């Protein structure tokens, strides 16, 4: 168990409300949690301890530069046998049952030891804020008689699917042998309340898994009702985007199920969690591109492509003639790309595109030259794109990204999608190029742009400090934590 305190605090530790924050060790889940920490830190009534698994903690502290307001954030680690220095990767996602089982077995003891240690040092913990998927933290909170607050880092719609786990199981729609494409597109799911009817193919892919399905099934059955034991559920989305879902979930869980996003809008630094070096040179390249002209391509921190798919995508980008900014992580291509082919592509497109291993995404999406985003449909990427008014080409990989893509294309109508997900088979360059042209050059693309610009206004309105629904809800939550502290004295 290792600890690092960013700076000393002159006030008595026990006079403050001490919040222990436990993110899921995955970059897409850590970023909204850090943004939430920055919000809490604005109030001097709070002390925050961020707890990561040891391998991720060691990498995190290498890149951590305390931003304004978070100078007193305490960084702690707890031991874990899985090595996740960059957060969850394709291996973890492909073995999610084993990953979550190991977490539930190994991590509670380490967190309990840390909380006891902090108490013995005169800095008792008053509550735990944790990712929904760290449901084992509820039992730890119960041991110490303190409340747990859940951060739901995805859409409200996904939370309703989790809430309906037993219904989905009863109807044999999840955790069975994977349906054929025809069946998956023909079966309609119309009983998940708060969500529009959708095809079986659009149910979160993580619930359709056939590998290790018994383990995953048991994890989901156990996890689903735990949400009812939390004092608050903070959802990193905004009401005007998903009003029916928020209304339904609040009717089931009470008024403490609230919209709390987009959380990144609280962060004036326009930076997400950095576990990889960001190449800021791309911003200078964007400065000389025409307004609204750049296609940004990123598959997030986990997704991988086959060599064949990588080359089809490269061919489509070249043929499109669009200026492009492409994030190519070292591990993006399974087995590595062909150096000869890749070098030839880079040479031919040296005046057209810019390639980085990781990009400062919040600043990229806010740049005037941004035109469209080809995305894996991770929720952070989707919401960041919406809040900057950027149309999307959806190409989901795993998790709930296929569901997000359905929302983007069918419910919100702010993007297009390809005929297959990344894992379903090869998308040829002609289809990719056609998708790019539809979003960036067609009359339909102009309508898509207008719709996403309207949602941008609503996203930012949600964080308005006077009447924003997300902002006001979060302020009410912080006041509740303060009241609990007073009640316990």
3-270+465-488 with 281-459: one CATH topology? yes
Average confidence (pLDDT) over 252-259: 96
Confidence class of residue 96 from pLDDT cuts 50, 70 and 90? confident
Residue 224 has pLDDT above 90, yes or no: yes
* 184-194 residue pLDDT tens: 889 999 999 99
Average confidence (pLDDT) over 231-257: 97
Are 436 and 372 in contact, with CB atoms under 8 Å apart?
yes
Residue 444 has pLDDT above 70, yes or no: yes
Predicted local distance difference test score (pLDDT) of residue 446? 97
Distance CA 49, CA 75 (A): 6
Predicted local distance difference test score (pLDDT) of residue 209? 67
Average confidence (pLDDT) over 286-302: 96
Of residues 65 and 340, more confidently modeled: 340
Predicted local distance difference test score (pLDDT) of residue 388? 98
Specify whether the backbone of 279 is left (phi greater than 0), alpha (psi in -120 to 50) or beta.
beta
- Percent of the chain having pLDDT more than 70? 93
* 326-343 residue pLDDT tens: 999 999 998 888 788 899
pTM listed for this prediction: 0.93
Of residues 216 and 441, more confidently modeled: 441
Residue 278 has pLDDT above 50, yes or no: yes
What number of CA atoms fall less than 13 Å from residue 428's CA on the CB side? Answer: 1
Are 212 and 97 in contact, with CB atoms under 8 Å apart?
yes
Confidence class of residue 486 from pLDDT cuts 50, 70 and 90? low
488: its two tokens: 């316990």
Domain locations in the chain? 3-270+465-488, 281-459
Q: Which CATH superfamily groups domain 281-459?
A: Glycogen Phosphorylase B; (3.40.50.2000)
Confidence class of residue 211 from pLDDT cuts 50, 70 and 90? low
Residues 6 or more apart in contact with residue 272 via CB below 8 angstroms: 27, 31, 34, 264, 361, 362, 380
Q: Could you give the C-alpha distances from 157 to 20, 130, 203, 244, in angstroms and in order?
A: 27, 19, 10, 9
Predicted local distance difference test score (pLDDT) of residue 335? 86
Q: Which CATH superfamily groups domain 3-270+465-488?
A: Glycogen Phosphorylase B; (3.40.50.2000)
Q: Could you give the C-alpha distances from 460 to 86, 320, 375, 391, in angstroms and in order?
A: 30, 32, 21, 17
Confidence class of residue 484 from pLDDT cuts 50, 70 and 90? confident
**Bridge partners, residue 298, by sequence:** 375
Distance CA 119, CA 124 (A): 4
Residue 362 has pLDDT above 90, yes or no: yes
Are 375 and 385 in contact, with CB atoms under 8 Å apart?
yes
Average confidence (pLDDT) over 232-239: 98
Residue 10 has pLDDT above 50, yes or no: no
Predicted local distance difference test score (pLDDT) of residue 216? 86
Distance CA 269, CA 425 (A): 39
Residue 36 has pLDDT above 60, yes or no: yes
* Beta sheet of 17-22, edge-to-edge order: 3-5, 74-78, 46-53, 17-22, 127-131, 148-152, 232-235, 257-259
């Amino acid at each position: 168990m290792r600890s690092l305190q960013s700076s000393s605090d002159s006030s008595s530790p026990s006079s403050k409300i001490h919040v222990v924050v436990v993110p899921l060790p995955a970059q897409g889940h850590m970023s909204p949690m850090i943004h939430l920490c920055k919000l809490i830190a604005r109030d001097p009534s709070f002390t925050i301890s961020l707890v990561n698994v040891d391998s991720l903690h060691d990498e995190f502290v290498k890149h951590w530069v305390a931003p304004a307001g978070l100078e007193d954030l305490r960084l702690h680690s707890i031991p874990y046998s899985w090595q996740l220095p960059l957060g969850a990767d394709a291996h973890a996602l492909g073995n999610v049952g084993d990953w979550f089982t190991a977490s539930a077995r190994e991590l509670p003891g380490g967190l309990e030891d840390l909380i006891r240690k902090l108490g013995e040092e005169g800095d008792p913990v008053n509550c735990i804020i944790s990712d929904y998927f760290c449901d084992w933290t509820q039992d730890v909170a119960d041991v110490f008689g303190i409340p747990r607050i859940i951060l739901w880092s995805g859409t409200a719609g996904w939370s309703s699917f989790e809430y309906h786990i037993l219904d989905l199981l009863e109807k044999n729609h999840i955790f069975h042998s994977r349906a054929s494409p025809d069946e998956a597109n023909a079966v309609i799911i119309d009983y998940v309340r708060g969500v529009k009817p959708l095809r079986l193919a659009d149910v979160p892919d993580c619930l359709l898994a056939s590998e290790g399905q018994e383990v995953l099934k048991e994890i989901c059955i156990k996890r689903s009702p735990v949400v009812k034991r939390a004092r608050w559920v903070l959802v990193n989305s905004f009401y005007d985007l998903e009003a029916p879902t928020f209304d339904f979930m609040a009717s089931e869980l009470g008024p403490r199920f609230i919209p709390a996003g987009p959380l990144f809008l609280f962060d004036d630094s326009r930076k997400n969690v950095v576990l990889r070096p960001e190449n800021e040179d791309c911003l200078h390249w964007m400065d000389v591109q025409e307004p609204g002209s750049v296609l940004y391509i990123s598959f997030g921190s986990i997704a991988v492509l086959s060599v064949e798919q990588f080359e089809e995508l490269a061919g489509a980008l070249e043929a499109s003639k669009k200026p492009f900014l492409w994030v190519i992580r070292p591990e993006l291509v399974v087995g590595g790309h062909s150096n000869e082919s890749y070098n030839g592509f880079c040479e031919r497109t040296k005046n057209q595109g810019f390639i980085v291993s990781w990009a400062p995404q919040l600043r990229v999406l806010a740049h005037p030259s941004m035109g469209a985003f080809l995305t894996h449909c991770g929720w952070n990427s989707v919401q960041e794109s919406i809040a900057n008014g950027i149309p999307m080409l959806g190409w989901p990989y795993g998790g709930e990204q296929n569901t997000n893509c359905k929302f983007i294309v069918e419910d919100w109508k702010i993007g297009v999608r390809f005929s297959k997900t990344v894992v379903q088979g090869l998308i040829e360059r002609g289809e990719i190029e056609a998708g790019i042209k539809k979003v960036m050059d067609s009359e339909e693309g102009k309508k898509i742009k207008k719709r996403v610009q309207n949602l941008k206004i609503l996203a930012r309105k949600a964080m308005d400090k006077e009447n924003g629904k997300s902002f006001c809800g979060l302020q009410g939550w912080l006041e509740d934590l303060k009241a609990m502290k007073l009640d316990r004295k």
